[in-house]
Amino acid sequence: MKHYQILIIGGGTAGITIAAQLKRKDHSLQIAIIEPSAKHYYQPAWTLVGAGTFDFEDTERDEADYIPKGVDWIKDKATGIDPDTNEVKTASSGTFTYDYLIPVPGLVMVPEMIPGLKEAMDKGVVCSNYTDPKHTWEVLQNFKGGNAVFTQPTTPIKCGGAPQKIMYMAEDYFRKKGIRDKTNVLFATPGTVIFGVPSFAKTLNKIIHDRDIIFKPFYAPVRIDAEKQEIYFQYSKPGESNCTIMEGNPLGEELTGATEIKIHFDMLHLAPPQAAPKFIQESKVSIQEGPGKGWIDVDIHTMQHKRFPNIFSIGDVANLPTAKTGAAIRKQAPVLVENLMNLIKTGKVGQKTYEGYSSCPIVTGYGKMLLCEFKYDNIQDSDPLISKFVDTTKEQYSMWLLKKYGLPFMYWNLMLRGKA
């Protein structure tokens, strides 16, 4: 059995950033990354790919180019973690032991949680930037009018704002194409509001109103009939045991049960349901019961595991009450690295804390963007430097340039190199 001082599961944004930062702090650390994929993707740009304003090829790089120097790459997938014996099993490379473990494998898509979705996914007029943004762009170009439906599941998802970003871009595209007057744009969400942070929600509510976008909160997608191009929603407003549909509704909504609604779609974009990988859910490292079940049980400020002190985690699989974004990882990684280094050197975890920072750059059209930055409890947390020059609660062209050029550059050249 091969042993490593630090074993990282996952060579995505979190895994590479952490490995690079650790190596910069102490070159002598023995680190390995378990990651099966030969390609690394800059997923935040997939919204722009789906809207035809970014090349998919530019979001893809070779994983090998980003594994930090001196870090072993185990090109395999993890299949099990036993925190009691400090062991990680892999599909074909055997078992590895560790002194410290950092499981950061990211989320997996589970479209089968919505009946009919798996069969419909990325075919015909059903698309998702999460899985095939190039297909989204084809669907937009072929769309001739009717109901354009945008929705998201009840599960946690990567970047909660992504399902509405493409909706704003599509709506703008339909205007440019001259078919907006023949189109109903619907954003249906199981959530209660358009955005959790009031200052940003105010701007987004105004955009929705001004651009005649239909917004339906408490709409949870429950099944899809791809043949008939119909989607069914469960109306989930607390305390409501039935729902009524207004007469003359433009979408042609139909009640199919006390709280079930059927809507015909001429195009459908959705975020598929998402979950932690099975090997995480089945390991003791995850929360076993109750809220947060299946997600890694970490302290929300120190990133250290609550029950296994030699395990740390951040990113999409960590049970943190904040958005699952690369921006969150950028603030989580230095906290994990400092606290782990302290533990290695002194036997005590470091004092660095994470306050829940995440950001969601919401593109609201071609050349327009809202930079939504917030921390735990949905408190606005805008960058003091950017805020000096720009009101980030309003749509800005400068923020669009940041999204399209600045952030990808920072990601590839600074963040993954452990410098940002």
Instruction: Enumerate the active-site residues.
Output: 159, 360
Q: Give the DSSP letter of residue 404.
A: I
Q: How many beta carbons lie within 10 A of that of residue 333, not counting itself?
A: 28
The span from the CA of 108 to the CA of 413, in Å, is 26
The span from the CA of 308 to the CA of 378, in Å, is 29
Contacts within 8 Å (CB) and 24+ apart, 405-413: 407/44, 407/361, 408/42, 408/44, 408/45, 408/58, 408/59, 411/13, 411/42, 411/44, 411/326, 412/42, 412/61
Cβ atoms of 2 and 99 within 8 Å: the answer is no
The amino acid at residue 146 is G
**DSSP per residue, 282-316:** TSTTBB-SSTTBTSB-B-TTT-BBSS-TTBB--GG
Residue 38, C-beta contacts closer than 8 angstroms, at least 6 positions apart = 62, 63, 64, 75
The span from the CA of 187 to the CA of 170, in Å, is 12
Q: How far is CA 240 from CA 215, 226, 259, in A?
A: 18, 29, 8
Phi-psi domain of 363 (left: phi exceeds 0; alpha: psi -120 through 50; beta: other): beta
Phi-psi domain of 339 (left: phi exceeds 0; alpha: psi -120 through 50; beta: other): alpha
The amino acid at residue 375 is K
Query: Which of these, 261, 243, 242, 241, lies nearest to 251 by C-alpha position?
Result: 261
Cβ atoms of 15 and 31 within 8 Å: the answer is no
Centroid of chain to Cα 30: 30
